[in-house]
Structures are given as structure tokens and as C-alpha cells.
Amino acid sequence: MVGSYKEFEFTDGERISRLSLWGNGAGTRSGGIRFFTTRDRQFFHHMTSWPLKQEYAIEVASGLCVGLRGRAGADIDALGLTFLLPISHARLTNVRYPTLQLEAASIHPFNIHEFYDENLSYSLPKEWTNTGSYTKTESASWSLTTGIEYHATVGVSAGIPKIAEVSGEFGWQVGVSGTYETTWEESETYGWSRGGVIPPRTWLSFIVTTRRGNLFVPYEGTMEIVLSTGTRFSYALKGQYAGVAYTRVETRTEEGSVDAAFREGSTNILRSNVVGTKRSYGSIDSNIEVVTSRRRSTDHAAPHRLLLQHNGADDGNIADINELHLDPN
């Protein structure tokens, strides 16, 4: 007569916490098995023709069942489980990133901060200052499978991919090997305080920049397991690496002539110094050009008079002329 059937499926990270086995009382067959798990679940299956007799509590060590042993024909004659000894520690070593050199496109420049000022005076210099800070956070993580390493505290001995510049091109290079947890993060704050004097009729731009790379690539390595007895064994492991890296933070200052910008029709210098206008446009667009620029008196402290010509969008004829008063300082 065929007995009933039961099945148990372990979830990721679930281990056996307690195990009992029974014989049939006559020393000829396996009588039953019962275990509890670290997820508060249990499995219990046994013979039904005879009542259970002597229960044998089994040492489960680490709780990781790595095999079954026994004999069977029409019935289960003998049954035993093999457990891994407690794991002392595990370490991922010999880490390689096979596709790292193909990931240069994941590195992008970006501006952390931009500061703009201008001196519209004809004779007086103008001081400028700019202070700020930026915190960049680099990170690295190595994914693990649901194998033995899933049940242990795993360290990583590896180099972390860093952004490097070679002959003016930016790409990825593996840094010096270090020891990390499977998830690593480090923050660094960069501060700046810059200032100086803007000469008359000069604009100034101060820019803080860096480059950032977001990396997601496969890795290959060796997982080394050390048991409580000191016994070691290892096996090949593959997974995914994810990381964020930065280049150093850089600053640069650019200057130019306000008058040259006027002659080129630049409207950038008008953005912070307009104090009055006869007519307000939503924005100074490409249809407006500088016609002439002059003062109302010989006094350099007097407001600067700037005439703008607005070209009609449809026929190119002059639609009107408008006047802006600019603070010279």
C-alpha cells in the first residue's frame, strides 16, 4: 500500500532549527521525521500503520541541510540528514569585473554649482564672494546568491571600480584592493570659499564641477567558507556589482567684457540689474537686439540707458523701441 505524500519548500535564508527522527520500533524501517525552521514553520510526516515510539533528537549544527543519506526499496528503510557545521565566516575574494572596460558611457560631467556676477560700472571695481559645500557619496555593493553565503556574514576582499582619466579620456579602473562589507558607502564633503574683485565693465562666472559614474556590471569571484572547526572550502561565484563613483571636485572662474557681450547681442548680463522698464517682456528673446547704449549725463554714477530694438516675429520690421535703465554698480 502506497503511503501519503508530503512536500516542504524552504524560503531564502530559512534553516532547520530543530529535528527529530523515529524508527518503526522494530529496527527495520524509518518511522517518521519532524523539523522546525527559523521561520517558525514545521514539517511532520510519519508512518500510520504503527504508532510512533522512540523519538531521536538530531543535532542540526548550522541548520543548513546539505544532503540526505539512507536506504530505500518499497519503504524507507533508513533516513538521515547531513548538516554543515556552523560557519565562522565567509569571504568573497579574487573579484573580477569582465565588462568594466565597456562602461565608459556611464560617466557623465555635471555642474555642482554655478555663480554669476557682473560689474556694469565704468570706473568702480566690484567685490564678489561665493561660499558653499557639496557632499558626494560613493557606494559599492556585491549581490549574493541564495547559496551557503546567504546564511553567513560575508566580507569582501576586492578593488572598487574608480573613475580614472587617461590621455584626456575618462573610464573605469579597479582601485587598490581593500576589505569591505557586501554593501559599502563613504561620504566626503567639499567646501569652497572664493572671492575677488571684478574690474569695471566685466562679467564673471564661477563654476564648481565634477564627474559622476553609475556602474552596474557583472562580477566573478571566489567564495571562501571557514567553518567553526577551521575547515575551509571555496567555490566560484557570480553576481552583480553596483556602484557610484566621482572624480575630484574642481572649480574654475571665467571672465569677459560686458561691452563685448553687448556687441554680440548677449542678454545674459541683463538678468540681475534691470531696475525699470517702460514695457515688460516675458523674457528677452532672440528677436531683441541691442541698438545703442549711452548715458543720460557725463556722471558715471548716473543710470545707464540701453535702447533695445524688438524685431517683429512675422515680417522682420521694427515693431518698437524700448528703454531699460540699468544700475551701473
Quick check: is 5 in a domain?
no
Q: Among the three residues 64, 84, 104, which one is the final residue of a domain in this structure?
A: 84
Q: Rounded to whole angstroms, what are the CA distances from 83 to 18, 42, 212?
A: 12, 17, 46
**One domain, residues 237 and 311:** no
Largest distance between two CA atoms of the chain: 121
Determine, yes or no, domain membership for 176: yes
| Contacts (Cβ under 8 Å, ≥6 apart) of 7 | none
Same domain, residue pair 74 and 170: no
Same domain, 158 and 63: no
Domain boundary among 84, 107, 136: 84
Residues 94, 80 within the same domain: no
- Residue 291: inside a domain, yes or no? yes
Same structural domain, 174 and 60: no
Q: Are residues 106 and 200 in the same domain?
A: yes
pTM for the predicted model, two decimal places: 0.66
Q: Is residue 7 part of a domain?
A: no
Distance from C-alpha of 133 to C-alpha of 118, rounded to nearest angstrom: 23
Indicate which CATH number applies to the domain containing 115.
2.170.15
- pLDDT tens over the chain, length 329 residues: 466 778 899 888 888 999 999 888 877 788 889 999 999 999 998 888 888 888 889 899 888 888 888 888 777 888 889 998 988 889 999 999 999 998 988 999 999 999 999 999 999 999 999 999 999 999 999 998 767 777 788 999 999 999 999 888 899 999 999 999 999 999 999 999 999 999 999 999 999 999 999 999 999 999 999 999 999 999 999 999 999 999 999 999 999 999 886 655 544 433 333 333 333 333 333 333 333 333 333 344 444 444 444 444 444 333 343 444 444 44
Torsion of CA 173, 179, 184, 189, to 10 degrees: -70
On whether both 285 and 147 belong to a single domain, the answer is: no
Mode of pairing for the β-strands spanning 55-58 and 288-295: unpaired
Residue 196, all three cell numbers: 575677488
| Number of domains comprising the chain | 3
128 and 80, same domain (yes or no): no
Domain assignment present for residue 1? The answer is no
Helix (H) or strand (E) holding 258: helix 258-263
> Would you say residue 165 lies in a domain?
yes
Beta bridge partners of 305: 294, 325
Say which residue the cell 547531513 belongs to.
Answer: 82
145 neighbors 239 (Cβ within 8 angstroms): yes
Instruction: Please report the DSSP string for 260-302 in residue order.
Output: HHHHTT--GGGTTTEEEESS--SS--TTEEEEEEEESSS-TTS
Which amino acid, one-letter code, is at 118? E
Claim to verify: residue 123 and residue 228 sit in the same structural domain: yes
**Per the domain annotation, does 244 fall within a domain?**
yes
**CB 245: neighbour CB atoms within 10 A?**
22
* Contact (CB, 8 A) for 225 and 148: yes
pLDDT at 30: 84
- Examine the domain organization and report whether 288 and 237 are in the same domain: no
Task: Tell me, yes or no, whether 122 and 230 share the same domain.
Answer: yes
Residues 180 and 94 in one domain: yes
203 domain residue, yes or no? yes
Single residue among 84, 111, 131 that ends a domain in this structure: 84
Domain that holds residue 48: 16-84
